[in-house]
Structures are given as C-alpha cells and as structure tokens.
C-alpha cells in the first residue's frame, strides 16, 4: 500500500448499492434515499465534490459508518437532474481513491473524513508493461465472447498509455462480484492491480466458454427430442396403417368421457365424436389441433340438459315482483299469467317480451326481478351500437380467432338452458358491411324457429325455446319483422305519486345505505320529495331523482362529519325506548331543501303565467317521455308566405299548412279579415330550435295560435292541448296520451284538451292523474277555440252558424259549453 497524500478531505458521502466507481470512470447514478439526496444538495452548494463509498450489503436502507467500506472514490458531479417521481439522476466522474477513516451524520446527510491515495508502480516498468500487454490480450478475447461490450471499447483502451488508468478502465467493464471490484479499488500498487485483473479476466473467459458449451449441449438435446418426436409420429402412422393404434391416453379420454356425459342430441354428439376422432389423428403441437380442441371445449360448455326449475308458486313470484318495483302492473300481470299457464303445461315456450319506455323507468332492473321471480339465471346482453351479425351468430371456424356468438357465450357462462336474457337497447342496433344483427335476431326471437338456432361457429342446432327473452327499448324504432316477433308492453313515465312512493320505499333507503348513513341519521320528508320531483327534475323515470337524493345524502354525511361526534344520551328504560321512535339527526323538508340542492332548476305551475296572444302550450311525445311544446305565431309584412322555424320535420310542416288553411276557411266566421295574407306573411315558430320536432299532433295548437294572433285574443296559459287537425276542422286522434298528460301534470297545467277519439284511452290513465287535471275531449276546432281563448269569439252576423268550405262552425254564446264537449273528471 502506498502512503496517502497529505490533503484531508471533509465531504458529503453518497453510499452506493452493488456498484463500485473507479477513478477516470464516468457513470450515471439514480438516487432516491433522503440522506443521499441531501448529500448531493450539499455537494452542489459547495465545490460539487463528493465521496462515493460502496455498501457492504445492498439490503441496508439506512447505512452507517460500519456498513460502508473504508476505501471509496473522490468524484466530481458533472450533471444533476431531478426526475418527476422525486428521485435524482446524477452524472459523476471518479477522480481518485480515498481512504475514509470517519463517517458521521450532519445536517441530514452522511459526512466523511478521509485522504486521497496516490497509486505507486511497486515493480519495474518492464514487468508492469508485460503484465499490461497480457491483460489487454485477455481482455480482447473477453470482449469478443461478451456481446454486452461494444468493440469500440478496445480502440479506447489502445489509446491509454498509463498502466494504472488502463487497469481502472478494464476493472469498470468486467462483470465480476462487488467484493472483487472493491479489492481492486483498495489496491493502490499498479502491478498488483494488473495481476489481479489478469486472473479475474481469465476466470470470466472460462465461465463464458462453459456457458457456450452448456448452450451447445441444450441445443443438441432439443434437436434430439425433435428427432425423437418425428420418429414417434412416423411410428404412429405405421401403427395406424396396421390397425393397432390404441386410443391416446389422458386428455383424449377425458374429452370422450365428457361427450358421453353431456347429454347432447344425437346429431350434436355425432359431430363431437367426429371432431374428437379428427383430433386423435393430429399432432398435439399442430395449430389445427388447437382449433379442434377449442371447438370441443365450446361444444361441451353448452348446457345441453342443465336447467333451473322454474318457480310455479304465484304468490312468491308476485311478492318478489312487488318488493323490487312499484307499479308496472301490466308487466307483472303478464309474468304471472305465464307462470300460471306454466303450472299446467309441461312443455311451454318462453315468452318474448319487449318493454318500451323512456330511460330510468326500470326496464332493465325489471328483467332482473322477473328472473328472480321465475327462478331463472339472469343474463344481460347489451345491443347498443352492435353492428356485426357475428355478434349474434358467431364467426365461422375458418377465421383465425373465431368464436361463438354472444348467445352461446352467455349460455356457457350461466350454465343453464332456460335463463332469462335481457336484450338491452334493442332499438340502438345498426348495420354496416359486416351484416345486419337485427336480421340475425329474427331466428333467435321467433318461437317457431329458435328451437333449432344455428350458430356459425358450433355448426349444430341449439334449442333456445326454453329461454325467456325480454328486450328493452326507448322507442318502437325497431325493424318491422323483428317487432312483430315480440309482445310489446309499454312502460310510460311515472306520475308524481308513483315517484314519491318509489323514492320513499326504495331510493331513499338505498342511498342512505350507499353513503354510509344510519337510518336514524337522516329523514327526508314527503314534501321534500315532491319538491325535488317538481323543481329539481323533469324526467319520466327516476334516475335524476335518485341522483338528487344521493346528493342530499352526501351533503348530510359531510355535515355530520364536520359537526364532530354527538354526545351520547342516557339510556332510557327498555319499555320507553321501545315505545319511542328515535328522532333523525338531520331532517330534510321543503323548507331547507335549497340548502342541500341549491336554487330550483325548473318552474312548476305554468298556469300562474299571464295569458299571451299567439302563444299556445301544446303537448309532445319524445323517446324520454312527454314534454310541453310552446307554439307561437306572428304576422309580419310580406306577400302571403308561411314561414316555419324551430327545426320542424316534414309532417309538422304539413300540419302547419293545414292549420293555416283551416284558419283561412273560417276567417269570416271568426271575425278575421279574409285578405289578411295579401300584404303579410305568417310566421310560426316552435322554440328550442336546437331540438328536431315532428309529428301531426300539434295541428290544433297551431290553429289556436294563428286565431289568437289574428284576432288579438290571448290564449289561456293554464290550458294545454294535443290533436291532429283536418281541413274540415276535426280534431283527430293522437298517440302517447299518458306521457303527454304526465308532462302537463309536471308542468302545472290545469286543463288539457284531447281528441274525442282518445276518450277510450283515459281508462288506462291512473286516477291520480285524471284527479289533478281537467281533461276535456273535443271533436271540432271550434270547441278548442272556445275553451282555449281568454274570451269566446263573436262571429259576424252574416256568418253566424254557417260553414265555410265544408267546415263546421259552432256558435258559442257567453261561456256556455259547446255541443259535443264532455268534461272528464275522476
């Protein structure tokens, strides 16, 4: 060992794991420990010098003086980069060897005291030169057999003339143990260091040659096994020709046993056995064998004879349906009818229902309740956006990665041949060049055909007649042949009372539990629920109502958490505690509702607005339920044209033209200037222009708006109407009556005018709707005008009681009820 230099160093110490840095070596280091990062910061604040010392054990996370070697490297920080994950990447260059005689912690980092070590030759220069040449020769051989080192490294070493630096450079690039590299660092005599390197490099070359021999042996063994496999296959072929090939053991026997026990129909079993025999003749390693094996797995996964026992107890089924859903009597009755017939008929095909209604009324969840009530496995199959026929029928086996359709996949998943399938959003399917999935469903949903459904992948007939299919849809925008195969049950929007019952029975307890509240911590009163329905939601279903209730629960949870723990009350006697119901910690009523939900979003009570000229409230049906439809008209200078705005469809435009013709035909009788179109245009506008509108049911409302505009008589704001208009002035039947009446009720309308032909539909309207609305069936437009306008029109004396252009004019005196008008109240 050489004598150390006289300069004493007092620098930050950076402990290293599994690495030794030699002088003249530039290396990047990743630093993540707090003390190490603090040591780098101190070095950067000073002269950027730092002591690099290797740890004796890489597993030590917080090393001290005893965990570090006594010899390290004095290094210069060249570059420091802070990474996004909080660690530091630092580039350092080794300068010289250092003996560290003391390490202590100061200012959150390790500080070391030591002195630099000067390298000495220790031997004659000729001897050192000879050892260096021998080392270079061995290292060249090492680089040629080691693919990790670039050949350019040899050129760099050839340019190094100093033996000590040559030794340090080679030591940095050989893959030896940490202890060996540390011994090289601690050796200051150059000759001894070179000799150590010669032994280490020579040993590494021997290891590499041994690895090469092992690789060669493994390769020859693999070639031998492949040769044996080829000969075995030839032997099997010879045995097959001789007719004495035994059945392959193991997997093939297991497949044969499963086929025998699966209970397949005879045709399917014959197909499975043929595929199994084909598999026996194939090489287990071939790609085609994997395809056949996968096919047999799918075929065996089909529940050919497994089924659940359908519940026949109608009382239990009815209780199950009533417990999960409020109302929906038509659907429940249909399910109970099916179960009643099922109890008498053994082989009965499952019904195919289509539940049509706006979002949020419980169509999909009703499918789950039906499955529970009938004791069937439940499968939900979303068809929204499906545009590939193979999703239903599967892919043919000729394609790579082919698999069965989703019908077969779901049957395999539930393991029953009589589950309940919910075909969700059946009206959202589309088609493209890959086929039409709605046409593929024709076979699935046809009770006369689905007992032999053929999947393209399985290529065998599958009996779906025991499966109960329930489709859901927001509208009847379904291809005709597909719609014809299903029994349509309409689920209209909920009334206010139904929403109240649903919220109090299901939604409030559900959200209290979902938000971690106890039942005694929150009580939402009925008047608060009514206000949420009226002023914070405007929907046919209850999804937004549930969201608002969830919002209240979250705010109550936060309120309770901020208030801190409540004082524990003294325990009352058992009898008194049982008799007294615990009072809720937070009570939400209509008075403090805005505290939790903010300002009201919607206005309720349209009838409180002022009557206006030319503005009529119509009723519209949409896919999400009914809605109020404002229709306004005005007269502008022009040449007698009809201007229509509000993104109206063709049918609605024609309805507006018919309305204008009705008004012109009755102009004289209604006290309107017959020549009002000579110098004016009529502009009819339906607000909310971003929403497309179509349909004929706004005809009566358009006539009323035009008459009000031309006579300057305001229209009653508390009256809404719906009905198609004919040129004779007759108000014709419309559809979606319940949805429209619910929309009127939600909007605060008091009086609704409907066509006389729709009187029969009132039998399906709930009593609480007809109780809160004055529903008046009308037959002629004259009756509509008399009821909707603020004051009855007084026709001119010459036209009193006369008809014009085939129209019928009803003379109205005072406020008496027109002939044929019947007020319906329940």
* 114 annotated as ligand-binding: no
How many CB atoms within 10 Å of residue 566? 9
**What are the backbone angles phi and psi of residue 551, rounded to the nearest 5°?**
-65, -40
* 775's tokens: 């529903």
- Residue 454 gets the label, from left (phi > 0), alpha (psi -120 to 50) or beta, of beta
* 71 annotated as ligand-binding: no
Secondary structure class of 174 (helix, strand, coil): coil
- Tell me if 202 sits within 8 A of 138, measured CB to CB: yes
- Tell me if 714 sits within 8 A of 613, measured CB to CB: yes
Can you give 688-724 as a three-state secondary structure string?
A: CCCCCECCCCCHHHHHHHHHHHHHCCCECCCEEECCE
* 163 annotated as ligand-binding: no
**What is the chain's alpha carbon radius of gyration, rounded to the nearest angstrom?**
44
Secondary structure class of 39 (helix, strand, coil): helix
Angle (nearest 5°) at CA 818 between 709 and 785: 10
- Contacts for 204 with CB less than 8 Å, ≥ 6 apart: 142, 174, 175, 176
- Contacts for 308 with CB less than 8 Å, ≥ 6 apart: 375, 376, 377, 416, 418, 419
Secondary structure class of 175 (helix, strand, coil): coil
- Contacts for 776 with CB less than 8 Å, ≥ 6 apart: 751, 752, 753, 754, 787, 821, 822, 823, 824
* 362 annotated as ligand-binding: yes
Closest CA to 538 of 367, 748, 342: 748
Angle (nearest 5°) at CA 569 between 568 and 570: 120
Exposure class string for 249-288: b at 16+ Cβ within 10 A, else e: eeebeebbebbeebebeeebbebbeebbeebbeeeeeeee
Total residue length of the chain = 826
* 346's tokens: 């053994």
- Tell me if 17 sits within 8 A of 33, measured CB to CB: no
Whole-number Å distance between alpha carbons of 22 and 243? 74
- Tell me if 76 sits within 8 A of 11, measured CB to CB: no
Determine whether 653 is an active site residue: no
Of the residues 35, 271, 499, 740, which is catalytic? 740
Whole-number Å distance between alpha carbons of 46 and 12? 10
Can you give 227-290 as a three-state secondary structure string?
A: HHHHHHHHHHHHHHHHCCCCCCCCHHHHHHHHHHHCCCCHHHHHHHHHHHHHHHCCCCCCHHHH
* 741's tokens: 């009446």
How many CB atoms within 10 Å of residue 192? 17
Rounded to the nearest angstrom, the gap between the alpha carbon of residue 150 and the centroid of all alpha carbons in its chain is: 51
Residue for token digits 């004051």?
791
Closest CA to 587 of 520, 530, 516, 533: 520
Secondary structure class of 105 (helix, strand, coil): strand
Backbone CA torsion sign across 66, 69, 73, 78:
negative
* 358 annotated as ligand-binding: yes
Determine whether 134 is an active site residue: no
* 72 annotated as ligand-binding: no
* 363 annotated as ligand-binding: yes
Helices vs. strands in the chain: H and E counts, helices first = 27, 24
* 360 annotated as ligand-binding: yes
Closest CA to 492 of 336, 337, 360, 351: 360
Of the residues 369, 473, 540, 697, which is catalytic? 697
Going by the annotation, the residues of the binding site for ATP are 357-364
Q: Residue positions in the annotated binding site?
A: 357-364
Active-site annotation, residues: 697, 740
């Amino acid at each position: 060992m050489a004598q150390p230099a006289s300069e004493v160093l007092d620098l930050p110490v950076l402990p290293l794991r599994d690495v030794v840095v030699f002088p003249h070596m530039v290396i990047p280091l990743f630093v993540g420990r707090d003390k190490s990062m603090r040591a780098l910061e101190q070095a950067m604040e000073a002269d950027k010098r730092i002591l690099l010392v290797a740890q004796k054990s890489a597993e030590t996370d917080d090393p001290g003086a005893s965990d570090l070697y006594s010899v390290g490297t004095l290094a210069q920080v060249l570059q420091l980069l802070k990474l996004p994950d909080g660690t530091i990447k630092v580039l350092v260059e080794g300068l010289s060897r250092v003996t560290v005689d003391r390490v202590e912690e100061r200012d959150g980092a390790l500080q070391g005291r030591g002195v630099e070590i000067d390298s000495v030759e220790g031997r004659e220069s000729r001897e050192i030169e000879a050892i260096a040449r021998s080392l270079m020769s061995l290292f060249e051989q090492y680089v040629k057999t080691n693919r990790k080192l670039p050949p350019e490294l040899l050129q760099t070493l050839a340019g190094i003339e100093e033996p000590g630096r040559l030794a340090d450079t080679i030591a940095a690039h050989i893959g030896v143990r940490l202890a060996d590299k540390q011994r090289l660092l601690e050796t200051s005599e150059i000759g001894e260091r070179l000799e150590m390197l010669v032994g280490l490099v020579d040993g590494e070359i021997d290891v590499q040659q041994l690895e090469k021999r092992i690789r060669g042996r493994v390769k020859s063994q693999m070639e031998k096994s492949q040769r044996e496999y080829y000969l075995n296959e030839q032997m099997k072929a010879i045995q097959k020709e001789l007719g004495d090939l035994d059945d392959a053991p193991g997997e093939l026997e297991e497949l044969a046993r499963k086929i025998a026990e699966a209970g397949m129909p005879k045709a399917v079993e014959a197909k499975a056995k043929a595929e199994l025999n084909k598999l026996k003749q194939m090489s287990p390693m071939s790609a085609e064998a994997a395809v056949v094996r996968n096919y047999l797995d799918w075929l065996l996964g089909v529940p050919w004879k497994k089924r659940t026992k359908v519940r026949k107890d109608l009382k239990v089924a009815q209780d199950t349906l009533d417990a999960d859903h409020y109302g929906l009597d038509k659907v429940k009755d249909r399910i109970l009818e099916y179960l009643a017939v099922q109890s008498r008929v053994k082989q009965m095909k499952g019904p195919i229902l289509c539940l049509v209604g706006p979002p949020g009324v419980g169509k999909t969840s009703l499918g789950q309740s039906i499955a529970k009530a009938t004791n069937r496995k439940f499968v939900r199959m979303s068809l929204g956006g499906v545009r590939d026929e193979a999703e239903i029928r599967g892919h043919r086996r000729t394609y790579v990665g082919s698999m069965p359709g989703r019908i077969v996949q779901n049957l395999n998943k539930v393991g029953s041949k009589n589950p309940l399938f919910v075909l969700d959003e059946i009206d959202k399917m589309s088609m493209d060049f890959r086929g039409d999935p709605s046409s593929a469903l024709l076979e699935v949903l046809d009770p006369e055909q689905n007992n032999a459904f053929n999947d393209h992948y399985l290529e065998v007939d599958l009996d779906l007649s025991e499966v109960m299919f329930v489709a859901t849809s927001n509208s009847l925008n379904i291809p005709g042949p597909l719609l014809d195969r299903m029994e349509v049950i309409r689920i209209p929007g909920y009334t206010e009372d139904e929403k109240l019952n649903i919220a109090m029975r299901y939604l409030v307890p559900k959200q209290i539990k979902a938000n971690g509240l106890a039942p005694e911590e929150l009580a939402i009163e009925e008047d608060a629920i009514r206000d949420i329905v009226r002023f914070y939601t405007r929907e046919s279903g209850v999804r937004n109502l549930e969201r608002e209730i969830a919002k209240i629960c979250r705010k109550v949870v936060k309120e309770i958490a901020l208030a801190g723990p409540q004082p524990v009350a003294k325990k009352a006697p058992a009898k008194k505690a049982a008799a007294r119901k615990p009072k809720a910690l937070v009570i939400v009523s209509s008075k403090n509702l805005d505290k939790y939900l903010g300002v009201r979003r919607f206005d309720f009570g349209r009838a409180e607005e002022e009557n206006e000229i030319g503005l009529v409230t119509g009723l519209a049906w949409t896919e999400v339920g009914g809605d109020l439809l404002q229709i306004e008209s005005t007269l502008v200078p022009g040449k007698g044209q009809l201007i229509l705005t509000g993104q109206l469809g063709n049918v609605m435009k024609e309805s507006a033209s018919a309305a204008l013709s009705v008004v012109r035909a009755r102009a004289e009788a209604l006290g309107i200037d017959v020549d009002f179109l000579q110098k004016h245009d009529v502009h009819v506008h339906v607000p909310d222009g971003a929403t497309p509108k179509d349909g004929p049911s706004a005809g009566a409302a358009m006539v009323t708006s035009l008459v009000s505009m031309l006579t300057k008589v305001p229209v009653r704001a508390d009256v809404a109407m719906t009905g198609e208009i004919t040129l004779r002035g007759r108000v014709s039947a419309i559809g979606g009556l319940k949805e429209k009446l619910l929309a009127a009720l939600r909007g605060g309308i008091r009086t609704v005018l409907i066509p006389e032909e729709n009187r029969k539909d009132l039998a399906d309207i709930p009593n609480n709707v007809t109780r809160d609305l004055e529903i008046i069936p009308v037959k002629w437009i004259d009756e509509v005008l008399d009821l909707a306008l603020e004051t009855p029109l007084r026709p001119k004396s010459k036209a009193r009681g006369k008809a014009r252009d085939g129209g019928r004019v009803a003379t109205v005196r005072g406020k008496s009820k027109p002939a044929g008008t019947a007020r319906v109240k329940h």
